[in-house]
Structure 1
Amino acid sequence: MGTEGLPIPITVGGPGAGATDRTRERTTARSAFPFKMPLKREMWSSVAMDAAAVVLAALDVWLVIPDKAPSYSLYLSALACLSLVFRRWLPFVVVLGTVPGFLTGWSQLAAMIALGMLATRKQMHWKVWAGATLVWACRFIQWPLSDFAELSWREHAIDAIYAVLVAGMPIAIGLLIGARAELAQRLGELAASRDRERKLRDDAVRAEERARLAREMHDVVSHDITLIAMQAGALTAAPGSANALETAQTIRTLSTRTLEELRSLVGVLRSGAHDDGPQPGIGELDQLVQGSEVPVQLSVDRVPEQLPAKVSAAAYRTVQECLTNVRKHAPGAAATVVVVGKEETLTVEVSNDRPRRPATPLPSGGHGLTGLAERARLLGGSFETEPTEDGGFRVRASYPVDP
């Protein structure tokens, strides 16, 4: 804390965070039902295509039907056109339903549409070839049969060729559509497989990195802290002044507590669990303030009873880091800690006045406030730092309390 070593303000969230939160809420609301709009759009598209198929088939019949056509052929042709409504659910039955109208009437386009849907759904199934045979026969045979018998062999050959085209074109289009759909499915499966492989590779890399960090922390940091605790224990047993014994006891207590937290963290790293394990919270702020060796005025007001564990831990870590910075960068300065719950938001503000004596240079990577800012960002809150007019420093963090 203080003005030394911490000159750069860090802001996460801030005034624009409200708009960002509203945008996030709208995005969450839209993604709550991800299949509602696509299903509705697909349904209306299917209805439109079915209606278009019926209209085109009926128009084809109306354009070619003669003036003095038998009534039964007109009814069978109309039935063939209307049966196209069910072509998505009963494709083979619909093909059979179009055969009478095509054979005795003029529902050729209806039969071709039904056969195309059958080929799209069934691909190389025997029903496709059976339907193709029926459509071919309806195009080749003329009704009534007496007129068909009077045709010459040339006319029969021409009708057979045209019948192949009438039955073959819908099958070709249906097979092409089916092959395209299968290819799209295979590409989707391939993309999903690549994503799984990438995730597994990333998990393996993270596991290896966690194991390496756990080894380093255990072999280096844990060893040094253990030696500190042992030396402090030896000092408490040796004769000396009361202040020296109290200082040694404090060092031993702090090093033992740090060693326990370090071992817990090493266990989390080795297990690869997402949970951070048991964390101190707002309930331990009194104990933290008492052991901080900094004159602190603590105020906790309107804190919700059902406070999320991560928010409580974030508030504790914020106060802990700020008091540590006061002790390092502003020796002799007094600090004020205010924790307030307001409108589903927990606000933590830590401020200190100017230092009373020069600070002793200590190793510092400058990552403490950056880590607090990242923690606030991950929880959807905000984090701000600024120097005060009297030469001190102020940190303000806000966290949403809605789990």
Structure 2
Amino acid sequence: MAHGALYRLRQDLFVDAFAFRPMPPLEDAKVARWVPWLPERIRHWARWLPHFLVGFFSVCVFLASFTTGYGMGPVRGVLVGGFSLLVAAPPALTLFRPVGAYWLSLGAFVVSAMADALFSEYPSPFSGSTFLTLLAVMTLVVLRTRPRLAVEMWLVTFVVGAGAMVITRHGSGELAPVMAFSGMVLICAAAIRAWREERQHVVETQTVTAEERSRRTLLEERATIARELHDVVAHHMSVIAIQAEAAPYRVKDTPPELATSFATIRENAVAALTELRRILGVVRSEDPDAFADTNPEAPQPTLASLDSLLDSVRGAGLTVEAVTTGSPRPLPQGVELSAYRIVQEALSNALRHAPGADARVEISYVLGGLGLRIVNGAPSRLAKPSPGAGHGVLGMRERVQMLGGEMTADHTEDGGFEVAAFIPVSSAAGETTTGGSRL
């Protein structure tokens, strides 16, 4: 234990003691939180307020030390001025080289003790402003570095102070109360530093946890989308394989070349289906949505199933009005499924976060695609806390971006919430869907 303590003492106070470690300015968020009433330009310069305060303290120490030697003659005045600079420099040096500032301040303390022993009638190492400046430097070093330096610097200062009292032949009566007082000050500084480190660690942990939760939610949503896309593509590939296998039997005297082509189409469809299952997999997990299908083998829902969804929502206590504009037409199954899921998630959010509110679902069939708008009013009663808030919006946004669309989700002026999305659909895709539905 003693070897480990000496090793840490050497690493903290001796190795790279004068290394350049500048103190960064305050963060803009902290300054805005502490002094929000300051103009923005002045608030930008307020980030350097700790540096200014430490520099001002150094100037005050220099003036206080230099004033004691004023009018003592040119030679002694120069010595006093140099010593005053030696005492006042360490506080400012803590902004750039904190451990080196401690050693420089400790050296000034030793020089002051020797000068008192030579020139003072009643020498005392702890009299004057030198030791107070040393204590201030130790406090700044602890606040800037790590809490354990408080104990290490206190022990070194205790040993040096005891040696100075022996050399100056001053009684040891001052040593115990002075070191007790300095120990209390350094303990307070170490506690503040430890609290700041713990708070910063908690903030970083919360940030990492939130990012990890969002990433996990995104991956889960993508896995769900992959499962649904697998079901959609697998359905069409199965239809192709079945039609290719049955086509030769529908034509009398089928040419061998045509039969070979149909067989190749079927083999490629089956191979693509197998590869699709191998890459995507069939992701089967419980759906957290309130109105999800309980049967994993059931067909994926489309906008044609929207009436049953609205009935379920109304049965749960939400008043919903559905409006359809434009001419309804068949859309690609991926678009239909994503549109259904967006409406489902938006209504689920309205149930969770806006109890007692009215909702409106608008579906617009336009020339370039499909428009969705789900809006609900302000809640009429207090909503229960709902863990995972915001993940549904993340999933909806992921679906829309996957299809090349755009989406907005924000609060309305009356205290409600609005989700608006546009999913582009090309005319070729609509024709392909229509043709596929006739097979």
- Compare relative contact order (CA 8 Å, sep 6+) and give the higher one, 1 or 2: 1
TM-score of the superposition, structure 2-length normalised? 0.41
Whose Rg is larger? 1
